[in-house]
């Protein structure tokens, strides 16, 4: 290959390389899911902050039902008795999840034996100690976890959700 062809070949490869990188790179200001950081922050700001319980009232492995962010979205508050992933409160052991199975929306039940939420529909299981990670079954995503805030008096508030609730295009309707 003479010098002229080598230069033309190199330029073509450089151009293709830049084009490929350009095609894969997200547009400026975009993040995963196609929302810009500002759009994500705006979406988060739409979540209501709602008190759902008190640390002193929770017993280990005794689930407390509540709804969030609206009455059409059942959820469960759990105290697991030891620090867990994304756990809130002084012991980092308080978590909350949607109880609608992400597969087809069956209502989940808590299994204290392995700290999982279990679906009676097609038997998916979600690990409450690992942020709702799916550990078995037909579902194709982890369970929506509700982010909690705990104040100095032990009041627990639901403040946002990390995944889409089953059947919704937007968590806040």
Token digits of residue 138: 């037909």
Pairing of strands 146-150, 125-127: unpaired
As a whole number of angstroms, the distance between CA 149 and CA 89 comes to 8
Q: Of the two residues 115 and 125, which places its CB atom closer to ligand FES in the complex? A: 125
Least separation, in Å, of the C-beta of 123 and ligand FES?
Answer: 6
**Which range of residues in 13-21, 66-74, 87-95, 96-104 is near ligand FES by CB under 6 A?**
96-104
5 flagged as catalytic: no
**Which range of residues in 57-65, 72-80, 109-117, 121-129 is near ligand FES by CB under 6 A?**
121-129
Cα dihedral value 150, 151, 157, 160, nearest 10? -70
Q: Of the two residues 75 and 94, which places its CB atom closer to ligand FES in the complex? A: 75
Q: Which of 5, 82, 103, 138 is catalytic?
A: 103
Token digits of residue 151: 């104040």
CB-based burial of residue 147 (10 Å sphere; 0-12 exposed, 13-18 middle, 19+ buried)?
A: middle
Q: How many CA atoms lie within 13 A of 128 on its CB side?
A: 33
- Which listed residue (74, 89, 91, 121) binds ligand FES by CB under 6 A? 121
Q: What SS3 class is residue 133? A: strand
**Which range of residues in 24-32, 70-78, 101-109, 156-164 is near ligand FES by CB under 6 A?**
101-109
Q: Is 163 in the site for ligand FES (CB under 6 A)?
A: no
- Which listed residue (55, 119, 128, 158) binds ligand FES by CB under 6 A? 119
Least separation, in Å, of the C-beta of 68 and ligand FES?
Answer: 20
* Residue 150 near residue 89 (C-beta atoms within 8 A): yes
Sign of CA pseudo-dihedral 70, 75, 77, 83? negative
What are the residues binding ligand FES (CB under 6 A)? 101, 103-104, 106, 119, 121-122, 124, 137-139
Residues involved in catalysis? 103, 122
């Amino acid at each position: 290959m003479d010098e002229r062809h080598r230069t033309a070949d190199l330029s073509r490869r450089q151009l293709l390389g830049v084009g490929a990188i350009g095609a894969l790179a997200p547009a400026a200001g975009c993040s995963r899911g196609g929302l810009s950081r500002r759009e994500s922050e705006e979406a988060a700001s739409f979540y209501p902050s709602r008190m759902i319980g008190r640390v002193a009232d929770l017993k280990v492995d005794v689930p407390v039902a509540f709804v969030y962010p609206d009455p059409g979205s059942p959820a469960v508050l759990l105290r697991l008795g030891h620090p867990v992933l994304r756990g809130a409160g002084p012991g980092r052991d308080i978590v909350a999840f949607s109880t609608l199975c992400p597969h087809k929306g069956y209502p989940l039940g808590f299994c204290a034996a392995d700290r999982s939420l279990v679906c009676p529909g097609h038997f998916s299981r979600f690990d409450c100690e690992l942020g709702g990670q799916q550990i078995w079954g037909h579902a194709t995503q982890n369970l929506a976890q509700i982010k909690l805030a705990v104040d100095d008096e032990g009041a627990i508030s639901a403040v946002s959700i990390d995944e889409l609730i089953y059947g919704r295009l937007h968590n806040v309707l």
